[in-house]
Amino acid sequence: MKSSWTPIKAAIVLALCAAQAAVPALAAGQAQAQSSAAPAKSAAAAILPGDDFFSWANHDWLDKTEIPADRGSWGAMAALADDNNARIIELIEAAGANNKADAEARKAADFYKAWMNEAAIDAAGLKPLQPRLDRIAAIKDRATLSRVLGESLRADVDPLNYTNFSTPNLFGVWINQGLSEPNVNLPYLLQGGLGLPDRAYYLDASPRMAELRTRYQDYIAAMLKLGGHDNAEQRAARVFALELKLAQSHATREESADIQKANNVWRAKDFAARAPGMDWTAFLHGARLGKQDRFMVYHPGALRGAAAEVAATDLATWKDYLAFNALNQYADTLPKAFAELRFEFYGKVLAGTPQQSPRAKRALGATTAGVPDAVGKMYVSSYFPAESKRQVQRMVSDIKSAFERRIDKLEWMAPSTRDHAKEKVRTMYVGIGYPDTWASYGGLQVSPTDALGNVLRAQEFRYQNELAKLNQRPVRAAWAMPPHVVNALNLPMQNALNFPAAILQAPFFDPKASDAANYGAIGAVIGHEISHSFDDMGAQFDAQGRLRDWWTKEDLAHFRAASQKLVAQYSAYKPFDDLALNGQLTLSENLSDLAGLAAAYDAFKLSHAAKDANAGVAADREFFTGYARAWRSKMRETALRRVVVTDGHAPAQYRTYTVRNLDAWYKAFDVQPGQALYLAPQERVRIW
């Protein structure tokens, strides 16, 4: 699931789904992939559940559904989000027309109104961005460069798309409790500064990646030329060369997912020696972190590489890099020519999306990024009934209990490990629908006529609020996702879960549907997020959110060995002849899919409704079908390739194939040896 916030990293925030993707009618283990435009088999009778459960459950939807022209993918989550967006736009427009709307709703309406006013944005030209461009142009030495780089630092990390480890600025900053100190907030510094999605786009030698690099360099030149720079092609070549050097120092996604490598506490005085080349005093002063003594350096190699380039790369190239970065970062809120140029590359070339989203959707995205709780509060008051919250809370309680019972049955787990695992489940904070405390935007100035000014002021307002956390204790119940976003997440450092109101509706949750359907859909989502506390990353945090080893040596060895079976299972899936899934990259999500589905199934079977009337094979079929239908999805080839290379989530079709590890699925659908998804009992992965 995408948002207009800038993406972040794994391990700290574990989201349900960064993007839904699938290639219809691709059975497990098949080497021949099909384009997302290819039709699924036309009738359920032609598909056996044991050959392709995804296509069997979703054949009608796959036959009838086309990916919208403004999307790289489409699925259950995207369709639900689209419906939600239409409702929210109506609420915002109504607030704008209502003189009695409260102050928070008015700010959301004014933010949206300014973003919708293309004529005013075109008339303003680059004027709203000019102060930043002037500061860049005025750089005369390395100390000033370091200060300007610090001034660009923002709390722009995005928990909705945590698998992208790059921010548009040279570094990203995230304020949260220390990995080993749950009672203290610290600033985390993360790698950033790349215009392409990942280091692999710079370093992969394949012809496809080489072509994308050429197209990206052309885009840099076009953006600089549009911004008034001469000799744009030569400047673009130097900017790209600088980004290539930065990419070479970046951690891989697999390295970023290793939370142990992130546990690096640096003192302010350490930076000059550990990452020479940058004037760190000037940088930290520019970032308003000059009084901070301790930092979590999540990507030390990237900091060293960037600092070295500050010393080695000429100032003219750095100034061109920063000017391009500013134009590129804010292109959507600049005159139409900038927005269209950006979409040509990031939309069409990089994502394979033929058409830009309507302006209203993009305006809503910008408004959500700027004043998320103001938008969420309007949505909740209109579309999230109290009874839905109570019903989901009961399901959460059932699934937590089921997970504890599964822990009790683990013969391989030592009593000490088992006791702490159960403590994690019992003490877990579960936020349903919306945060306990809404954010206030009283200090934020929002103009109905200054779109880019609103964006810049909102970023500054957020940054100030994040910096303020450095003088506060961590709050376990703090939310990391707006309530009107269709997603869910686990926060291992807080031992907490968030289930926004927007996902608590059909096809994931329907208060009028059967227990079987609800437990198979939203129940599996709930189980998934609980299970993230026990995946390969979440299991490294204790009940207080502290990174520590609470496993016995034998338990950890068993867990890792069992996990590698799941790595191998997913690495065998090949959407394309030349590209397979990365089972290690997607391990956390695959573990949570498996454990979450199993816990949801147990909870369903033990629920009162299931005991009384719904305990048979027919109900089991409905449960598993509900799970598969929640993952219905299509994705364009270009976008799917990007997801396979960069995303910590397996494409949706392969997440559906989690069922092949549950014995009950075989009985429910009479799955037999010889069918494509069949696994012999000893080959089925069983962990939690």
Residues with Cβ within 8 Å of 150's Cβ and at least 6 positions away in sequence, in order, are: 282, 283, 284, 285, 286, 287, 289
123 pLDDT exceeds 50? yes
Is 8 a member of any domain? no
Strand ranges of the sheet holding 171-177, from the earlier edge strand across to the other edge: 171-177, 185-191, 294-297, 265-267
* Percent of the chain surpassing pLDDT 70: 91
DSSP, collapsed to helix, strand or coil, labels residue 283 as helix
Distance CA(487)–CA(160), nearest Å, equals 8
Q: Which residues contact 564 (CB under 8 A, 6 or more apart)?
A: none
- What is the C-alpha to C-alpha distance for residues 2 and 202, in angstroms, rounded to an integer? 22
Name residues whose C-beta falls within 8 Å of residue 139's C-beta, 6 or more positions apart in sequence. 145, 148, 315, 318, 319, 322
Hey, what long-range contacts does 240-244 have (CB within 8 A, 24 or more apart)?
Answer: 240/213, 240/216, 241/317, 242/309, 242/313, 242/317, 242/318, 242/321, 243/193, 243/194, 243/195, 243/196, 243/202, 243/321, 244/202
Q: Is residue 117 part of a domain?
A: no
Report angle CA 262, 263, 268 to the nearest 5 degrees. Answer: 100
What is the per-residue pLDDT for 258? 87
Using CA atoms, how far residue 294 sits from 189, 268, 297, in Å, is: 11, 6, 9
Average pLDDT, integer, range 606-632: 81
* CATH code of the domain covering residue 639: 3.40.390.10
Domain extent at residue 674:
14-84+385-431+483-683
Same domain for 322 and 413, yes or no, is no
Shared domain for 393 and 289, answered yes or no, is no
Residues 510 and 415 in one domain: yes
Q: Which CATH number belongs to the domain containing residue 177 in this structure? A: 1.10.1380.10
Q: Is 169 in the same domain as 266?
A: yes
Q: Could you please report the per-residue DSSP string of 463-509?
A: HHHHHHGGGS---TT--SS-TTSS--EEETTTTEEEEEGGGSSTTT-
pLDDT at position 1 = 31
- Of the candidates 459, 495, 685, the one whose C-alpha atom is nearest the C-alpha of residue 591 is 685
- DSSP lists the bridge partners of residue 189 as 173, 297
**Span 314-332, average pLDDT:** 97
Tell me: do 135 and 273 sit in the same domain: yes
- Confirm whether 114 is domain-assigned: no
Sign of CA dihedral 454, 455, 458, 463: negative
Determine contact, residues 562/595, Cβ cutoff 8 Å.
Answer: no
* Residue type at position 400: K
**Mean pLDDT value across residues 284-308:** 97
Does residue 111 belong to any structural domain of this protein?
no
In a domain, 375, yes or no: no
How many domains, in total, are found in the chain?
A: 2
pLDDT for 658-680, tens place per residue? 999 999 999 999 999 999 999 99
Regarding beta strands 171-177 and 73-75, do their DSSP bridges make them parallel or antiparallel, or are they unpaired?
A: unpaired
- For 681, other C-beta atoms within 10 Å of its C-beta total 8
Residue 400 shares a structural domain with residue 531: yes
**Together in a domain, 413 and 512:** yes
Structure tokens at 660: 């092949």
Q: Measure the CA–CA gap between 593 and 298, rounded to whole angstroms.
A: 27
* Residue 35 clears pLDDT 50, i.e. is over it: no
Partners of 430 in the β-ladder: 497
Same domain, 283 and 396: no
Q: Considering 272, 301, 334, which residue would you say is the last residue of a domain?
A: 334
pLDDT in tens, 556-577: 899 889 999 999 999 999 999 9
Q: How far apart (Å, rounded) are the C-alpha atoms in residues 644 and 640?
A: 6
Instruction: Answer whether residue 103 is part of any domain.
Output: no
Say yes or no: 271 and 389 in one domain.
no
What pLDDT is attached to residue 31?
A: 29
Specify whether 285 is located in the same domain as 141.
Answer: yes
- This prediction has a pTM of 0.86
At 389, is the pLDDT very low, low, confident or very high (cuts 50, 70, 90)? very high
| Residue 74 parent element (H or E) | strand 73-75
Q: Bridge partners of 172?
A: 190
In a domain, 378, yes or no: no
Q: State the burial class of residue 497 (Cβ atoms within 10 Å of its Cβ: 0-12, 13-18, 19+).
A: buried
Mean pLDDT of 136-156: 94
